[in-house]
Amino acid sequence: MTEEKAVTVFRDYLRIKTVHPVPAYDEVVEFLKNLAQEVGIQCSTVEVHPGRMVVVMTIPGSDPSLPSIMLNSHTDVVPVFEDQWICDPFEAKKMENGDIYARGTQDMKSVGIQYIEAIRKLKKENKANFLRTVHITWIPDEEIGGKLGMAKFVQHEEFKKLNVGFALDEGLANPTEAFTVFNGERTVWWVRVKCPGKPGHGSRFIEDNAAEKVRRVINSFLSFRDEQEKKLKTKGCLRLGDVTTVNLTNLKGGVDGSLNVVPSEMFLGFDIRISPTEKLEDFEAMMKNWMKEAGEDVTYEFLQYNPMQGMTSTDQSSPWWSTFSSVFEKLNFKIEIEIFPAATDIRYLREIGIPALGFSPMNKTPILLHDHNEFLNEKVFLKGVDVYCELIPALANVPRK
């Protein structure tokens, strides 16, 4: 049976090892430039940092003065444990039932190819004549925080020239018939806590020692964690993105090779994901109080700090949301609105005031991003191309106010 062109392109893209810690960025940029040429789309590159190239494909609109549509995806993928996979994670093997196994099938190489294959299909049907300009952007380094990728790009003069008015980026699969749409995401704080104390010999009861302060800090953070977990489990209407998660991810202290020495300081690391329903200033005030209760000399610093809590309107008065949702009404597809539980490059767009939605057209599919044996069925993939064939023209033809 002959494979559809879109699926072949998708599998070729999956085979490029853009996996950390050394993604094959040069290879993927060349692949994308060739793909743009094949489809007949303008293509340019922007070096936002040495070795970090953003690819921009552009379909000019009839009114370039109007804010444009940005269709964003990232090219990098997370590492794999090959012994846990049923096949080579970069072979893009397709099973008899159409399941394609490879790192990046869901997160998020599928979406990038769905954008461009939708444009290919629309051009073939002479339906790619849009009012607004459409930019398909391919970004590096999302999986490691985007500091040398999207964070740099949104500050670049070339980005400002794109005049972006609305953007789409990644979402998650949905195991049901519905598609999930994300209009916000939790704020990521990584916090390092320093607990100093009196040192001494391990045979003594030493007052004001670091471990006692560590225990108090851990108890405060994890008690809050328990409260949030209980809230999630007891209120059936809540999803993970509606609550704040706190996890102890790092604990350091002690003198190497000496178990009989009470250390003079110990360190704790916490990964905190704050829901938009929680005020950041209130959470930090609570955290400061926990430090004070643990000891007057207990301090903390941010290893990652985001002061923003951007949300994109899902009110029908928003032309972007009303247009987006109307497409799914037309297709008779159910959509579910959620807050994204993790962090994506979309936060950098919302921080500068650009409305954006997280969406990956993957229904009837288990959520497998970053998991072993990540896969996407080719029928689901092709259905996503068809969704974008409806969605892209609708958004690109939103009229002037």
Residue 282 is a catalytic residue = no
C-alpha 44/C-alpha 24 separation (Å) is 19
3-class secondary structure, 63: coil
Active site residue: 141, 142, 185, 242, which one? 142
Phi, psi of 271 (to 5 degrees): -100, 115
Pairing mode of beta strands 356-359, 164-169: parallel
What are the tokens at 242?
């509606």
The DSSP secondary structure of 304-355, one letter per residue, reads E------B---STTSHHHHHHHHHHHHHT--EEEEEESS--THHHHHHTT--
C-alpha 194/C-alpha 269 separation (Å) is 9
The DSSP secondary structure of 256-307, one letter per residue, reads TTBTTEE-SEEEEEEEEEE-TTS-HHHHHHHHHHHHHHH-TT-EEEEEE---
Q: Which of 28, 32, 52, 62 has the alpha carbon at shortest distance from 44?
A: 32
Q: Which of 342, 346, 350 has the alpha carbon at shortest distance from 244?
A: 342
Taking CA 389 as the corner, what is the angle to CA 97 and CA 92, rounded to the nearest 5 degrees?
35
Catalytic residue numbers?
76, 142
